[in-house]
Structure 1
Amino acid sequence: MRRLFGSVRARATLGATVVVTIALVAAGTAVLLSLWSNLSGQAGTQAERAARAVATELSGGAGYDRLSLDDDDRPVQIVDGSKRLVAATEDLERISGTGTDAVRVQAAQPGRGDDGDDDALRPGEIGEDVDFGDGSATIDGDTADYRFAAVEVSVTGKGTLTVYAGAPLAAEQSAVRTALTVMLIGLPLLLAVVAGVTWLVTRRALRPVEGIRREMAAITASQDLARRVPVPETHDEVARLARTTNETLAALEASVERQRRFVADASHELRSPIASLRTQLEVGAAHPELLDVGGAVEDTVRLQRLAADLLLLARLDAGEGPGEARFDLGTLVREETAQRAGVTVAAESVEVAGSRGQLARVLANLLDNARRHARQRVAVTLRTENGWAVLGVADDGAGVPPAERERIFERFVRLDDARSRDDGGAGLGLAIARDVALRHGGTLTVREAPEGGALFELRLPVPWRRSEGSCGSVPQCGRTA
C-alpha cells in the first residue's frame, strides 16, 4: 500500500477522487435539501388552500355537519379555543403533528365557554397567518405522512376556531428518494470515471518523466556522460526539466573531461622533471664526478613550481575565496618589478580588495610570460578607469594570434613557439592568472600591444569608500571592508 501511494500518479488520482467526492456529496446534499424544500413548500400551499376552504365555509355560517371534510380524503381537524375537537374527517383513525391527536368529536365541557371576548379576529374573519408542521395520519386504514397547515377563523357564536388540513407528502418523498437513488448509483460511476481519467492523464503527463528517470539511471550505471535524456515535444515544465537536465549533463561532462585532461597533463608534466632528476641522481650515485648539481637543482625548482601551481589550482577549484583585505596595488606592482631587469613601470596608487598573495602570483605569472616572449623590454602600467583598476603588462615580442587569444588561458596549453623553449613552463601560469582575476570579480584579456607584441590587461573593481559620498560608476558601490 505504501509503495502504491508512493507514486505521484496514485496520489494525484486519490487526491482528485477525494476532492470530487467531497464536491459531489456537498452538491448532492444541497440539491436534495433544495428539492425537499421546494416540494414541501408546494405541499404546504395545498394544505393551506384546503384549510382556508374549510375556514371560508365556517365564516359563512355553515354548520359542522355541512362542511366538506371528506371530499379529498385528506385529514382535517377543527379545534375550538379550548383545544377541543369539534369536527374532523369521518374516516380519520389516527393523527399526529397538529394541535391535538383527537380523532372523534368531543362533548363541550361545563363551565367553559367557546366565545372569547379578547379574540383578535372579528366575527367572520379568517386569519392571515398560517402555521405549518409535519406529521402523519391514518385514514380508512391507510397511513401516510402529511404537511399540515393551521388557519384561524372567527365564527359568530363559536369563537375562534383553528382549522388543521393536511396535504400528502408521498409524491415529494418519492421524488426525493428517486433523486437520492440516482445519486447513489451515479456517484460511484462518476468517481470511477474521474479516477480513471486522472490516472490516464497523469500517466501520460508523467511518461516523459519516467523516460528521463530511466535514462538517468542508465547514465549512472554506464557512467557515459555523453548520453542525453529525451526531450518531449511539449513546451511544458517537463520539457524544460529535460533541457535543464541535458544542460547539467553537458556541464558535468565538460567538467569531468577537463578534470581528466588536467590529471593526464599534470601526470605528464610531473613525469619529465621527476625522470630527469632521478636520472641525474642515479648517475651521481654511480659516478659522483659526473653529477650535474646545477641541473638537479633546476629540475627540483621546476618540480617545486609545478607542484605549487597544481596546489593553487586545486584550492581555486575548491572555491577558495579571495578575501576582503584592502591594499595598494601600485605598491605591489613596484615590489614585484623591482628585481626584474628590462621592465619599465608607470603605476598609480590604486586600492583594491582581495588576496594580496594571489594577485602577486597573477602579476608574477604575467611578467614571466612577457619576459619569455619579449625581444628587449616589458612595460607595466597601472591606472584607474571608470571605477576599475587596470593593470597592463606589455611586451615587444611576436604577440598572440587572434585565434589563440582565448585558448592560451586554458590549462596546460602552450603555443608552438613556447613549447620549443626549454624554460620549464607547464602552461599553467595564464590559467591561474585568469582564475584568480575572475574570483576577484575582474577580467583578464589579451590584445595587441602598441609596440606590436602582446598586452595582457587585468581589470579589478575598485572598492567604494563611504566618505566619497557618491558611487558614481564604481562597479561595487556600497562594498565595505
Structure 2
Amino acid sequence: MRSVRARAALGATLVVAVALIAAGLAVLLVLRANLTDRAGLEAEVTAREVAGQLALDTPYDELGLEDEDDHPVQVTDEDGRLVAVSKDLEAVSGTGTEQVRPVPSARASGDDEDESEDDDDSRNDPARREVSSDEPDFANGTATVDGETADYRFATVEATNSAGLTLTVHAGAPLAAEQEAVSTVRGAMLTGLPVMLLVVAGVTWLVTRRALRPVEGIRRELAAITASEDLGRRVPEPGSRDEIARLARTTNETLTVLEASVGRQRRFVADASHELRSPIASLRTQLEVGAAHPELLDVPGAVADTVRLQDLAADLLLLARLDAGEQPGRAAVDLGALVREEVSQRTGDRVPVTVSVADSGPLEVKGSRGQLARVIGNLLDNAERHTERAVTVSVSADRDAVLVEVTDDGAGVPEAERERIFERFVRLDDARSRDEGGAGLGLAIARDVAARHGGTLTVDRAPEGGALFRLRLPRSV
C-alpha cells in the first residue's frame, strides 16, 4: 500500500474499530452486570418475603407460592428436603437442589400437638424467630415453569421459625429482560460498526487528500524543476502555517541555496578557464617562438608562466577540496612558530616583513598545518603586493583564541569593498597587471580555510593607513 492517504485511512479505521469494539464490549459488560444485579435484587426481595413468612410460622400451603409464576421458589429444610415449591415448577437447576415435588417433613407445620406446653412456650418466643441478615447467595440457573424453560437469577436466604427450624429459601427472577437488552444493544452495535468505520475511512481519505494536495503540488513543481534544470523556479507555498507550509518554505530556501551554489560553481569554472587561458597561451606562444627561433626563447618568462600556472592549479585544487567539504586535520599547530617559519622561507620580497610574537607560551590551535601555512602565505603575498615600505605580522593570545594580524602601509581597502575582496577571482585594482595582481583567489582561500578551522578572517584599516587583516582561530585547550 504505497498511498499515504490509503495508509492513513486504514490506520484511522483500525484505531476507531479497536476503540469502538473495546467500548462496545465495556458497554455490554456493564449493561449485563447492571441487569443481572437488578434480577438478583428482584430474586432477593421475593426470597426475603417468603423467608419472612416462614419466620412467622406461616404454614407452607399458605405461603402464596402459587402466585409466583415469574419468580420460582423452593423451600428446603435443614436436611435438604424440599418442603415447599411454587406452582407449576417442573424443573430447576442452579439452586443446589433439583427437587420440584415437596417431601413431608416431621417438623413441617411447626404446630406438633405432641409437644409439651413448655415447648409451645419456647416456640412462641420471638427471639427464636429470624430471617438471616447476611448477604444472600446468588447463582444463575434455569427453570421450567408451565412447560417453558428460561434462564433465572436465584437468590438464597435462610429463615428460622419459632421451633428453631432453619429453612432455606431459593427464589429466582427471570433474566429474559437482561438477555433481550444485551442482544438488542449487541445487534445495534454490530449493525452500526461497519457504517461507522466506512464513515471514518471516507472522512479520513477526504481530509488526508485535502491536506496532502499542497504536497502533490510541491512534488509536481520539483519534478518540473528536475526536468527543466531551471533552479530559478520555486515550489508553491500554502498560505497556512502548518508543517506543509514550512516544508515548502524550506524547499524554496534549499533551492535558493542550490541555485546560488550552482551559480558560484559556474562562475568559478568560467573564471578558472579565463585565468588558465592567459598563462597557457603565453607559455604556448613562448614555446612556439622558441621552437622556430631557439635564440629568442624566453626561458625565465616560460618558467614564470609555468610557476604561475602551477600555483593557480594548486589554488583551484584546494578550493575544490574545500567546496567538497573536506575537514581539516586536528593536529596541534603553534601559530607563532608557523609564522616565523613562513617568513623565514620567503625570498624575493620587495619589502621586509617584521614579526612580533607575544611571549605568553605556545599559541596553539587545532587544524591542518599545510592549510594554515597557505593562509599566512596568502596574507603576506597580499600585503607585499599593496604595501609601500613595511609589512608587520603579530601573533598574540586573545582570550580563548589566537589572533594573527597582518598590517601594511598601502592604500588600504575601501570600506564598501571589505567583504567583496574575499570573493573568488575579485581584484580591486583592475589596472594592475595579472602578473602582479594575481588571480584573485588568495583571500578567498584564506577565508574558507579560516572558516573550516572554526575561525574568522576580517579586514580593517591599519593605524598606518593601510590594510589590517585579522585572523582569529580557536585556541586549543
* TM-score, normalisation: structure 1: 0.86
Name the counterpart of 1:135. 141
Query: Is the aligned partner of 1:152 residue 2:158?
Result: yes
Give SS of 2:396's match: strand
Question: Per the alignment, do residues 388 and 125 of structure 1 end up closer, same or farther by CA in structure 2, a change over 3 Å counting?
Answer: closer
Name the counterpart of 2:179. 173
Q: Which runs of 4+ in 1 moved over 6 A?
A: none
> Of the candidates 85, 88, 96, which is equivalent to residue 88 of structure 1?
85
> Of the candidates 323, 329, 345, which is equivalent to residue 354 of structure 2?
345
Give SS of 2:83's match: strand
- Deviation per CA, 1:419-458: give whole Å up to 9, x if none: 4454261111111111122223222111222232222222
1:122-271 matches, within 5 Å, as: 123-129=128-134, 130-156=136-162, 159-271=165-277
Question: Per the alignment, do residues 102 and 122 of structure 1 end up closer, same or farther by CA in structure 2, a change over 3 Å counting?
Answer: farther
Give SS of 2:66's match: coil
Letter in 1 for 2:430: D
Offset of 1:53 from its aligned partner?
Answer: 2.0
Give SS of 1:70's match: helix
- Deviation per CA, 1:316-374: give whole Å up to 9, x if none: 22334433333443343344334434224141155232333323222222222222223
Name the counterpart of 1:16. 12
Name the counterpart of 1:466. none
Give SS of 2:65's match: coil
Q: Is the 8 A contact 1:333 1:347 kept in 2?
A: no
Q: Is the 8 A contact 2:363 2:397 kept in 1?
A: no
- Deviation per CA, 1:72-131: give whole Å up to 9, x if none: 31322222222222222232222222232222223559xxx9x9xxxxx97432222322
In 2, distance between residues paired with 1:146 and 1:327?
95
Offset of 1:169 from its aligned partner?
Answer: 1.8
Q: Is the 8 A contact 1:337 1:343 kept in 2?
A: no
Question: Per the alignment, do residues 267 and 123 of structure 1 end up closer, same or farther by CA in structure 2, a change over 3 Å counting?
Answer: same
Name the counterpart of 2:395. 382
Offset of 1:306 from its aligned partner?
Answer: 0.9
Name the counterpart of 1:462. 475
Q: Is the 8 A contact 2:129 2:164 kept in 1?
A: no
Name the counterpart of 1:404. 417
**What RMSD in Å do the two structures reach over aligned CA positions?**
2.8
In 1, distance between residues paired with 2:148 and 2:265?
97
Give SS of 1:61's match: coil
Name the counterpart of 1:472. none
Name the counterpart of 1:475. none
Q: Is the 8 A contact 2:160 2:166 kept in 1?
A: yes
> Of the candidates 359, 370, 374, which is equivalent to residue 361 of structure 1?
374
Letter in 2 for 1:212: I
Give SS of 1:375's match: coil
Offset of 1:36 from its aligned partner?
Answer: 1.6
| Identity, % of aligned positions | 68
Q: Is the 8 A contact 1:352 1:462 kept in 2?
A: yes
In 2, distance between residues paired with 1:321 and 1:189?
61
In 1, distance between residues paired with 2:336 and 2:38?
100
- Deviation per CA, 1:33-70: give whole Å up to 9, x if none: 21122122222222222222222222333322222111
Query: Is the aligned partner of 1:97 residue 2:94?
Result: yes
Question: Per the alignment, do residues 323 and 142 of structure 1 end up closer, same or farther by CA in structure 2, a change over 3 Å counting?
Answer: closer
Offset of 1:270 from its aligned partner?
Answer: 0.9
Name the counterpart of 1:319. 325
Question: Per the alignment, do residues 389 and 159 of structure 1 end up closer, same or farther by CA in structure 2, a change over 3 Å counting?
Answer: closer
Query: Is the aligned partner of 1:372 residue 2:369?
Result: no
* TM-score, normalisation: structure 2: 0.87
In 2, distance between residues paired with 1:336 and 1:132?
103
Give SS of 2:269's match: helix
- Deviation per CA, 1:154-184: give whole Å up to 9, x if none: 2355822222222222222222222212222
In 2, distance between residues paired with 1:18 and 1:417?
73
Question: Per the alignment, do residues 78 and 321 of structure 1 end up closer, same or farther by CA in structure 2, a change over 3 Å counting?
Answer: closer
Q: Is the 8 A contact 1:334 1:345 kept in 2?
A: no
Question: Per the alignment, do residues 366 and 99 of structure 1 end up closer, same or farther by CA in structure 2, a change over 3 Å counting?
Answer: closer
Give SS of 2:216's match: helix
In 2, distance between residues paired with 1:107 and 1:166?
23
Q: Which runs of 5+ in 1 are unaligned?
A: 116-120, 464-478
Name the counterpart of 2:30. 34
In 2, distance between residues paired with 1:449 and 1:423?
23
Name the counterpart of 1:474. none
Query: Is the aligned partner of 1:429 residue 2:442?
Result: yes
In 1, distance between residues paired with 2:164 and 2:49?
18
In 2, distance between residues paired with 1:128 and 1:188?
50
In 2, distance between residues paired with 1:379 and 1:64?
129
Query: Is the aligned partner of 1:65 residue 2:61?
Result: yes
Letter in 2 for 1:257: G
Give SS of 1:326's match: strand
Offset of 1:287 from its aligned partner?
Answer: 2.2
Give SS of 1:83's match: coil
In 2, distance between residues paired with 1:35 and 1:166?
20
Question: Per the alignment, do residues 47 and 452 of structure 1 end up closer, same or farther by CA in structure 2, a change over 3 Å counting?
Answer: same
In 1, distance between residues paired with 2:161 and 2:200?
64
Name the counterpart of 1:278. 284
Name the counterpart of 1:450. 463
Give SS of 1:164's match: strand
Q: Is the 8 A contact 1:125 1:154 kept in 2?
A: yes
Q: Is the 8 A contact 2:50 2:63 kept in 1?
A: yes
Q: Is the 8 A contact 2:363 2:396 kept in 1?
A: no
